[in-house]
């Protein structure tokens, strides 16, 4: 039995040694790219206003997405919103474009992943309290319930796991961060 355990440890120790620096960060970024970048970019596009100025002048729907209860209270009249609201909506829109891109290409990966985690927390709180998902058990879901498809508890956990891994491990060598690190090591 000891020989079997020893063989197991040698085999998987060798696999771990060969892949530890690059496999998990690369898979985390790939999983994020394959499943979430388009989600966030599509969401950001719904917030764009008309024309090139839309990058700084968000759409009507952007306010409804980010400030749902305030929009309802204001009679869906965005003229009742001030510069603060516009700044928050524009910052969120830009974050949905820029942060996922940084994660995928592996640039400032730890910081951009940490910022994405913060963004997902704010998005989740908006869904729960702003859009009323907290009162909808099938949307909220629960862990360990045998139903892995709830929008909040299950999906958001699966969104956060690769990002947490990237915060802890970085982007790995197959990234712009890795390229910059190697370039710096050569020149310095």
Residues 6+ apart with CB under 8 A from 19: none
What CA–CA distance (Å, rounded) separates 85 from 78? 9
**Residue 131 pLDDT exceeds 80:** yes
| pLDDT grade for 135, boundaries at 50, 70 and 90 | confident
| pTM attached to this predicted model | 0.91
Query: Residue 117 above 90 pLDDT?
Result: yes
Q: How far apart (Å, rounded) are the C-alpha atoms in residues 143 and 12?
A: 30
Residues whose CB falls within 8 Å of the CB of residue 47, separated by 6 or more in sequence, listed in order: 58, 59, 61, 62, 65, 66, 89, 92, 93, 96
CB 93 within 8 A of CB 109: no
């Amino acid at each position: 039995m000891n020989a079997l355990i020893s063989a197991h440890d040698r085999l998987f120790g060798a696999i771990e040694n060969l892949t530890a620096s690059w496999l998990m960060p690369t898979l985390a970024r790939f999983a994020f790219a394959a499943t979430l970048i388009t989600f966030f970019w599509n969401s950001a596009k719904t917030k764009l206003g008309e024309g090139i100025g839309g990058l700084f002048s968000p759409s009507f729907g952007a306010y409804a997405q980010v400030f749902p209860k305030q929009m309802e209270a204001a009679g869906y009249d965005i003229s009742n919103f001030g510069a603060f609201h516009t700044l928050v909506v524009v910052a969120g829109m830009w974050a949905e474009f820029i942060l996922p891109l940084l994660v995928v290409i592996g640039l400032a990966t730890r910081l951009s992943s940490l910022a994405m985690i913060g963004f997902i927390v704010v998005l989740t709180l908006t869904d729960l309290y702003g859009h009323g998902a907290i009162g909808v058990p099938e949307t909220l879901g629960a862990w360990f319930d045998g139903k892995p498809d709830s929008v909040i508890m299950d999906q958001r956990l699966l969104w956060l796991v690769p990002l947490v891994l990237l915060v802890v491990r970085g982007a790995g060598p197959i990234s712009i961060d890795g390229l910059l690190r190697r370039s710096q090591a050569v020149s310095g």
